A = this chain, B = another copy of it.
């Protein structure tokens, strides 16, 4: 199978995020031979469980127990060492105490392509363990052995039948073959999910528990699964990712071919850094991860329930096409359930749209008066299979809805198993999700729906979660098709990088770690972002001359590398209309700053044209994250950003389409689109600034963060009224 080329979706000039990769992983998923190092017949030993599993699963390759203590293990000849096997081995499973693993692996070098190290006692277990893991990493690299683990379950594979999950089948059942593949940082999460899927008869292709990822990481798994024909959808569990940018590229590749969904656990992790800017203060790790998922076209799942939900949807057997929109038709024979589903649809951003007059008229002829012909549609206790079919035909055949949720309560005697067949036939054109809540009888019927390949859920909320997931996947698919999340966005020629770098060099030359306002604005100007006319002056007479040249009214601001919040120290005077005003303002500022920050070094004063009143203030910030690299933030100014955290993030650089989407994610966006009849603002100008600022952060190596606050947005144009930047 030819491997896909990883697309360069970042177009970053710097190579700080250069990607390093080992051999492809294919052999792990099609091994001709497996050695179990540390094999034992002693009851309860992990190696024994693995041997048992390989026997039961129908694994077709050769299995070699390795242990100097035994002649045979589990009826197979036992080898003293890997060398003793005298054959090349695809996969060696190391079921040894942590301390013995590095030596054993050294010994296997040259003989095995890949190792699975299942035991714990490595990086997760203090400094000694970390040192052991370090040795493991070294050996893997030097000896060119791909390593899964340590501290993992390894692989459960319904295609190759490899099964290194060392929990006996009577405690943890193995799921049947199917189209979903799972990669999980947590072994217990993978095991529990597998067991759940087995009980629910949901099929999987490959399950990879990669644990401490001494070598093989989530990115490796994604690259393999991207090209794996047996994998129709990928569901990940990550607590962290190893290399942010590489993860995004691998996920991006995979998501361009099949749905990729991810649970990001450990959501409470602390923020990016103790940055001075709003951007840094607001951006938590989770926000950055979410920006990365968006860039990659990956759908985030909220936790275990949505993880299982995703597996149900894509492991249902039916080929599911994500819907073209978010309009959901709800058909039920239980009024209350229908209302609950509609409520949940609204809560999850789906649209339980009202029926058109035409649809209602069509059904009125067919249905008795006590059926509720609306959305949700209540067929009452008098419902029959036929009434469900009619409701379905009357609402779903046209273009009014993108998917259906059918909540079948099994009280009415007119409902029979025929309903299942009917629905599974209808489910071809548009997704049909079934809700079958209740007890014993309903749960049996739920099994029938499942057998028929329909995604089925036992609660209203569950069914809506599935519909919402499909809707997000549909939206994502359209975005990917439209080039969103993919483009470079940036015409770097438009950006005068050389001149920008010169400004920075000058600042660094005098030992600066931040840019003073005029320099930050100079950088913006060089990137073609509009700033007010301004000049840095040294004294009062300079200020008066300059004001005359710029034209009154002007603003006067203190310029000091020591003053981060100019307004807070009384370092800003606005709307100065006369020479007298300038004189007053000048002495006022000097007094204020002397009072509030007597030690501040005052470099001079900024005289600046006043921007017109009546603009809407927004904030656009950009900075670099240690893990995911450059990203950009957008928010509405004032309270919304600082208290409401009503902001959106993307990895940089972004396209104009990304920028538009970012703006739309912010609740306060209404302020830009004519809220209370105040007219549409120039949102194209804002998008342009977002794109350009994302270009600066992505392309200018020496800038660590840069923020425009406020960017004042008018009916025509947007002006960066204040700006700051920090240097690397």
Residues of A within 8 A of B (CB): 44, 120-121, 124-126, 129, 167, 170-173, 184-192, 194-200, 237, 239, 263, 265-268, 302-305, 308, 332-337, 339-340, 342-344, 346-347, 352, 369-370, 372, 380-381, 409-411, 413, 437-443, 459-462, 636, 638-640, 642-644, 646, 667-668, 670-671, 675-676
Contact = CB atoms under 8 A, between A and B. Distances in A.
A437 B304 contact: yes
A638 B343 CA distance: 29
A369 B128 CA distance: 11
27 contacts: A44-B413, A171-B413, A172-B441, A186-B336, A186-B339, A187-B381, A188-B335, A192-B336, A192-B337, A192-B437, A194-B439, A195-B440, A198-B440, A199-B439, A239-B336, A239-B339, A263-B340, A266-B343, A268-B342, A268-B352, A304-B340, A636-B639, A638-B638, A642-B675, A643-B668, A643-B670, A644-B646
B411 A184 contact: no
Nearest to A669: B643
A370 B126 CA distance: 8
Nearest to A126: B369
Nearest to A342: B268
Contacts of A667: 643-644
A121 to B, nearest CB: 6
Contacts of A372: 124
Contacts of A187: 335-336, 381
A438 B172 CA distance: 8
A667 B641 CA distance: 12
A381 B165 CA distance: 12
A120 B370 contact: yes
A610 to B, nearest CB: 18
Given A195-B439, A439-B195, A643-B675, A335 B186 contact: yes
Nearest to A188: B334
Nearest to A413: B44
B440 A173 contact: yes
B237 A336 contact: yes
Given A441-B170, A668-B643, A185 B304 contact: no
Contacts of A185: 336
Given A437-B192, A643-B671, A370 B339 contact: no
B644 A644 contact: yes
Closest 7 CB pairs between A and B? A186-B336, A188-B334, A189-B336, A199-B439, A195-B439, A195-B438, A167-B411
A352 to B, nearest CB: 8
Nearest to A266: B339
A411 B172 contact: yes
Contacts of A198: 439-440
Nearest to A198: B439
Contacts of A459: 304-305, 308
B411 A639 contact: no
Contacts of A441: 170-173, 195
A189 B334 contact: yes
A154 to B, nearest CB: 14
A712 B392 CA distance: 56
Contacts of A381: 120, 187-188
A300 to B, nearest CB: 12
B642 A440 contact: no
A632 B496 CA distance: 56
A337 B438 CA distance: 27
B192 A409 contact: yes
Nearest to A638: B639
B670 A339 contact: no
Nearest to A339: B265
A330 to B, nearest CB: 12
Contact of A267 (B343, B646, B676): B343
A642 to B, nearest CB: 7
Given A337-B189, A370-B124, A411 B171 contact: yes
Contact of A644 (B124, B303, B640, B642): B640
Given A268-B343, A643-B670, 20 more contacts: A120-B381, A121-B370, A125-B369, A129-B370, A167-B411, A172-B410, A186-B339, A188-B411, A189-B340, A194-B439, A265-B336, A304-B337, A304-B459, A305-B459, A305-B462, A638-B639, A640-B640, A643-B671, A644-B667, A644-B668
A540 to B, nearest CB: 27
B267 A346 contact: yes
A117 to B, nearest CB: 15
Contacts of A197: 439
A638 to B, nearest CB: 7
Given A120-B380, A343-B267, A188 B409 contact: yes
A336 B188 contact: yes
A352 B196 CA distance: 26
Contacts of A124: 370, 372
